[in-house]
């Protein structure tokens, strides 16, 4: 574990240093991602130009949901987003080079091509989260602050785990990047809106099968003191950290299984 | 004690192929099929064989990238798969056809990263890097990103990268493929010195018979995943060098040529290909050639490595 984190930090900082040599192109790229991801939120504003409430939620509340999910996804993507290219690495053989190092291959694959460029998305998400908090004008009690921190931390870990599961899937199907994106970025998109608008079946899916609902929806219901439009047990509101921990185990298991398969089948 | 010990190693892959309709055929292919090989510390072993013979698969098993299907494998006393990361610090690998360096990082940055990864003490790192860059002429290339290096430059970089942590074993998978003559000589000289002065065990996979002749006292030949020769190069040469080919172009129609130890094949109306074994009487043959036709051109071919291996393979069949 220590080896993995140390190895990750080594490789990621080498990439960051290399990118810093081209300062102009770096800032241009951050700015352009900022602009592009900003369009996501414009979409929400367009919806609210036609209605005051969405499944009972105000624009500030939806902005909060969006801000939390996007911040978590942004953080996870910044940290290990490049792992989605594992399939390419396997196909062109460069994954083998990661297996001859004294560092866990997962850490090397996650840090590969670490890019500060992705911070653009994160800045935009945090800005919207801050705006939402200001517009909501809730009393920021200690409980709320704690809940927010826990929500962001668990949400990020959930997305990290989803990224790793997606990468592990590419051991079986090296062309599986698109499928993986459906869960990572698709999950990010899905959680931008109140889950209540999707109907009961999808909510059950993202609660019990691919637990994306725990990134923002359940803890946010608690945070906003909003009634659950689907009347599910309130205990779900506090389960995010446990779900995140469980998903980490699932992700590590999937990775180990995938790696074992790769090493016994060859490429 | 041997540093590399392979006992009856086999590796099979399952190949799925969609034939007519929707039925899929699973076929098991044995890339390595019962290979036993033992290498002592300080040896320089040439590992040769035609394409698809199982060389790369073997190197991948030795480095812990692939798990053998069956057999017992020990490198430096440990199981390469189970102790992969521990073994990583004791081995260096160069894959000729792909890079183990970071494509977009400058060479210097890649080396620095490896120093930290392998926890090489700063002074030793500096000594090793200086020595390698002197011998391989790398100083000018340090700030250049790996992707901008030529193949020969990159290969010299790869070699340095594989040696910064002073490994006991070095695996080289076709390190001279596509190199120009100058780079090839530099790499060869460097490897010979490394083996001689440091006692680094080297396993060299190559298609280049020249590499083998200059560097490897011992060679192991594989084909179809099986070891078909293991011993000194001199002995193999003696066993096989008897056969040479001679292609002769005549002004007119090619005449009949025959004699003990000579096999003739007419490959065009005016062209003959002769295969000469040790018993061939060369003076008599020359006399025949001059007496019976008008020789326009003549070429003598030494058997290339594919040919040597093919003959070995044919000879080893029951």
Q: What is the pLDDT of residues A209-250, one digit of tens each?
A: 778 888 888 888 888 888 887 788 888 888 899 999 999 999
**Interface probe with B: pick from A2, A101, A103, A172, most Cβ of B within 10 Å:** A101
Residue with tokens 């209605």: A51
Locate all alpha helices (DSSP H) within chain A, ordered by sequence.
Answer: 2-20, 23-50, 59-80, 86-92, 94-98, 105-111, 119-136, 142-172, 177-190, 200-204, 217-224, 240-265
Q: Which residue of A has its CA nearest to B86?
A: A102
pTM: 0.81
Q: What is the pLDDT of residue B238?
A: 67
**Interface probe with A: pick from B32, B65, B164, most Cβ of A within 10 Å:** B65
Nearest-angstrom CA–CA distance, A121 and A26: 14
Q: What is the pLDDT of residue B96?
A: 76
SS3 A175: coil
**Interface probe with B: pick from A102, A104, A265, most Cβ of B within 10 Å:** A102
Are residues A101 and B117, on separate chains, in Cβ contact within 8 Å?
yes
> What does pLDDT average to over chain A?
84
Mean pLDDT for the stretch of residues B164-169: 94
Confidence band (pLDDT; 50, 70, 90) for B94? Answer: very high
Task: Indicate if the pLDDT at residue B201 is higher than 60.
Answer: yes
DSSP string for residues in B106-148: BHHHHHHHHHHHTT--HHHHHHHHHHHHHHHT-GGGTTSBGGG
Determine the distance in angstroms separating the CA of A251 from the nearest CA of chain B, rounded to an integer. Answer: 21
Sequence-distant (≥ 6) Cβ neighbours of residue B290 within 8 angstroms? none
Reported as a single tens digit per residue, the pLDDT across A126-155 is 999 999 999 888 887 888 899 999 999 999
Determine the distance in angstroms separating the CA of A15 from the nearest CA of chain B, rounded to an integer. Answer: 7
Confidence band (pLDDT; 50, 70, 90) for A254? Answer: very high
Q: What is the pLDDT of residue B107?
A: 92
Task: Indicate if the pLDDT at residue B282 is higher than 60.
Answer: yes
Q: Does A203 touch chain B (CB under 8 A)?
A: no
Task: Indicate if the pLDDT at residue A208 is higher than 70.
Answer: no
Neighbours of B114 (CB within 10 A): 22
- Please state the ipTM of this predicted complex: 0.80
Task: Indicate if the pLDDT at residue A169 is higher than 60.
Answer: yes
Dmax (CA) of chain A: 57
Q: Does A18 touch chain B (CB under 8 A)?
A: yes
Reported as a single tens digit per residue, the pLDDT across B70-85 is 999 999 999 998 898 8
Reported as a single tens digit per residue, the pLDDT across A43-67 is 778 877 777 777 778 888 888 988 9
Mean pLDDT for the stretch of residues B269-286: 81
Sequence-distant (≥ 6) Cβ neighbours of residue B146 within 8 angstroms? B99, B101, B102, B103, B104, B105, B106, B107, B110, B154, B157
Domain boundaries, chain A: 2-265
Nearest-angstrom CA–CA distance, A103 and A140: 43
B199/A49: higher pLDDT: B199
How far is residue B53 CA from its own chain's centroid?
Answer: 11
Are residues B95 and A103, on separate chains, in Cβ contact within 8 Å?
no
Residue with tokens 């056809």: B97
A194/B237: higher pLDDT: A194
């Amino acid at each position: 574990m220590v080896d993995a984190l140390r190895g990750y930090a080594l490789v990621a900082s080498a990439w960051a240093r290399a990118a810093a040599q081209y300062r102009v192109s770096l800032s241009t790229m951050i700015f352009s991602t900022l602009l592009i991801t900003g369009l996501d939120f414009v979409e929400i504003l367009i919806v609210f130009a036609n209605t005051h409430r969405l499944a009972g939620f105000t624009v500030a509340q939806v902005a909060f949901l969006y801000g939390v999910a996007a911040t978590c996804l942004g953080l996870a993507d910044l940290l290990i987003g490049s792992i989605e290219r594992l399939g390419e690495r396997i196909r062109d053989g460069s994954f083998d080079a990661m297996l001859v190092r004294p560092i866990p291959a997962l850490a090397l694959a996650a840090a590969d091509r670490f890019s500060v460029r992705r911070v653009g998305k994160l800045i935009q998400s945090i800005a919207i989260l801050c705006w939402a908090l200001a517009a909501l004008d809730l009393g920021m009690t200690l409980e709320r602050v704690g809940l927010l921190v826990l929500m962001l931390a668990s949400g990020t870990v959930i997305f990290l785990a989803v990224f790793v599961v997606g990468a592990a899937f590419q051991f079986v199907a090296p062309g599986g990047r698109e499928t993986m994106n459906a869960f990572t970025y698709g999950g990010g998109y899905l959680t931008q809106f109140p889950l209540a608008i999707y109907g009961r079946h999808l909510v059950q899916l993202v609660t019990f099968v691919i637990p994306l609902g725990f990134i923002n929806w359940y803890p946010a219901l608690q945070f906003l003191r909003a009634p659950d439009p689907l009347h599910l047990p309130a205990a779900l509101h506090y389960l995010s950290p446990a779900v995140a921990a469980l998903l980490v185990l699932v992700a590590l298991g999937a990775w180990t299984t995938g790696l074992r398969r790769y090493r016994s089948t060859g490429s | 004690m041997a540093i590399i010990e392979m006992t009856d190693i086999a590796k099979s892959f399952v190949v799925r192929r969609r034939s007519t309709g929707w039925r899929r055929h699973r076929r098991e292919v044995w890339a390595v099929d019962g290979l036993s090989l033992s290498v002592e510390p300080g040896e320089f072993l040439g590992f040769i064989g035609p394409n698809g013979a199982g060389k790369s698969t073997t190197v991948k098993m030795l480095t812990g990238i692939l798990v053998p299907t069956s057999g017992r494998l020990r490198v430096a006393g440990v199981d390469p798969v189970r102790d992969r990361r521990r073994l990583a610090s004791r081995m260096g690998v160069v894959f000729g056809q792909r890079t183990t360096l970071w494509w977009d990082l400058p060479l210097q940055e890649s080396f620095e990263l490896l120093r930290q990864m392998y926890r090489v003490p700063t002074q030793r790192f500096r000594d090793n890097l200086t020595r390698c860059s002197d011998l391989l002429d790398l100083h000018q290339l340090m700030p250049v990103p790996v992707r901008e290096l030529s193949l020969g430059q990159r290969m010299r970089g790869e070699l340095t990268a594989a040696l910064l942590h002073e490994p006991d074993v070095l695996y080289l998978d076709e390190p001279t493929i596509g190199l120009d003559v100058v780079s090839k000589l530099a790499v060869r000289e460097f490897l010979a010195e490394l083996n001689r002065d440091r006692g680094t065990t080297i396993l060299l996979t190559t298609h280049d018979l020249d590499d083998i002749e200059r560097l490897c006292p011992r060679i192991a030949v594989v084909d179809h995943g099986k070891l078909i020769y293991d011993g000194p190069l001199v002995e193999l040469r003696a066993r096989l060098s008897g056969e040479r080919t001679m292609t002769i172009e005549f002004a007119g129609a090619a005449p009949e040529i025959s004699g003990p130890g000579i096999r003739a094949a007419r490959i065009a109306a005016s062209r003959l290909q002769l295969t000469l074994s040790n018993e061939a009487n060369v003076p008599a043959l020359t006399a025949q050639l001059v007496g019976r036709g008008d020789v326009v051109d003549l070429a003598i071919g030494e058997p290339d490595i594919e040919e040597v291996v093919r003959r070995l393979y044919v000879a080893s069949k029951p």
